[in-house]
Structure 1
């Protein structure tokens, strides 16, 4: 009964953990893991101790996680010493402790990899989202400065468009958050993205058959294509998307001077990584202008 109730309590703590201070969650989990481990006669539940350093890594960082892991190992040694006299001569207990040590190293390595992946995702979102809007603001403010003495109305409109791009930057952050909780509308989002920038957008097909992650990947790719077009002097920019029954195809075309393949920056590398995760492909053709083509199969996240 203690074993079952302890497992149920661990799940409950994990569910409500976001609303409780991290140090309290860690302390409660430690107590519950001890209860479950001692209630399990087979000793298999000792593996739950690995949850403690893994969770501590994301809540407090690497140093605390290592400390929690070492403390867990020391606790197991002390517990063996108290409950199993002469345990050091038992191959089973020694091997259990060695396996726990290996599991501890793997748990910390997995936490490090997960954290690195999350940092890369955030970096891509910041670059693809805010980077686009800041580029738009910069271009519009340069336009306002150039027309200030020539045509005040054009300069004022450029300033107003820059203000609107700044507002869209905030909305883009909210869009990314909403996409985690509700359906993402690719056509609507692309239209809002292109508004005020003179970018032509055409969306066809049925996007409702595609997963949110796939649509977001296409949106970020379009965002990067438009940003690059503006950054490299493109004036005639168009975005076309077709969501077919088997795959979605996005094409961003501009009339700018293009760029050499070796000059491909972090943004396009991020697009390639994002699309690859969705099972798709990316092609960049730089001739007279730049053409970005992205193809993603339906049914991937």
Structure 2
């Protein structure tokens, strides 16, 4: 009798191990039906197999919709009771165990539902955060490119109206600015790199400095270092320069602006120094908050100080 029991136990263990191998294979269609057959066989050989249901039933709920999972779970949970009844004729012997397993399974199903709802809520929040971030990015792009270009156009047209003799020159500059703005708008719509970066960053910065003459401001640009920069860093530095030079036009009253780009092996530093009125007590009011947010996205820093005018330094690690 002991030998027979040992044989049954070994056979039950073998069936359980076969189920483990089947779990490793996990064919999508046949997995649960075959697992049920193996479980019935192991349960018939050894009633302690019942406790493997705590590992089996989570797989059922993970693979099937809730209603179908409940039906399949019922088949698994009824197996210990059915085998016990077939062997002993006693319908009550395994009933508490079966009910406990059913309750556990329903609790597990509820936990899975809560987790799924939480994941959906997190995904929705992430999507909304992504939309908000994209809107903020587009807002900054429009402010740094199109709005500044339109400001220049308005200034040039006003200058043309007040200076009939030099009107043609002002209108030519306004036309050129309008064409550049149109190129920027098309680039934004097409989600391409900024139009001003069709050449190198140094060339784009040189063009920005040259345009200061439209407002009667002298500009000087210098660059040192030839290391190639990632496109994201180039765009950030260009936008920072545009914002800084817009501040010069609008607020500084400067006569001279010096722009310097220094690129080393481990960092890129953009410096914009004008001889105007400076920032005063609230430099963040000059559009630097948006500049700082953009620079921080690439791990950089922005400093704004007064030193014989305003000095903006943008530093980005490489």
Shorter-chain TM-score tier: 0.5 to 0.7
Once residues 96 and 142 of structure 1 are traced to their aligned partners in structure 2, the CA distance between those partners, rounded to angstroms, is 66
Which of 179, 197, 209 is the matching residue for 2:193? Answer: 179
Q: What's the CA shift for 1:80?
A: 4.8
Determine the structure 1 residue equivalent to 2:133.
117
The C-alpha deviation readout for 1:261-294, integer Å capped at 9, x for no partner, is: 4253373111101111211111112354221111
Q: What's the CA shift for 1:125?
A: 0.9
Shift of the 110–45 alpha-carbon distance from structure 1 to 2, 3 Å rule, reads farther
8 Å CA contact 2:66–2:109 kept in 1: the answer is: no
8 Å CA contact 1:124–1:267 kept in 2: the answer is: no
The C-alpha deviation readout for 1:92-139, integer Å capped at 9, x for no partner, is: 212111111111111111111111111111111111111221222233
Determine the structure 2 residue equivalent to 1:166.
178
Does residue 224 (structure 1) correspond to residue 243 (structure 2)? The answer is: yes
Determine the structure 2 residue equivalent to 1:211.
230
> 5+ residue gaps in structure 2?
1-25, 30-58, 75-98, 214-218
Shift of the 203–44 alpha-carbon distance from structure 1 to 2, 3 Å rule, reads farther
- SS of the residue corresponding to residue 212 of structure 2 reads coil
Does residue 197 (structure 1) correspond to residue 212 (structure 2)? The answer is: yes
Asked which structure has the greater RCO (Cα within 8 Å, sep 6+), the reply is 1
User: How many residue pairs align between the two structures?
Assistant: 228
Once residues 207 and 60 of structure 2 are traced to their aligned partners in structure 1, the CA distance between those partners, rounded to angstroms, is 59
Once residues 289 and 244 of structure 1 are traced to their aligned partners in structure 2, the CA distance between those partners, rounded to angstroms, is 26
The C-alpha deviation readout for 1:9-54, integer Å capped at 9, x for no partner, is: xxxxxxxxxxxxxxxxxxxxxxxxxxxxxxxx665468xxxxxxxx
What is the root-mean-square deviation in Å for CA atoms of aligned residues? 3.1
Once residues 119 and 157 of structure 1 are traced to their aligned partners in structure 2, the CA distance between those partners, rounded to angstroms, is 37
8 Å CA contact 2:227–2:265 kept in 1: the answer is: no
| TM-score, length of structure 1 as denominator length | 0.65
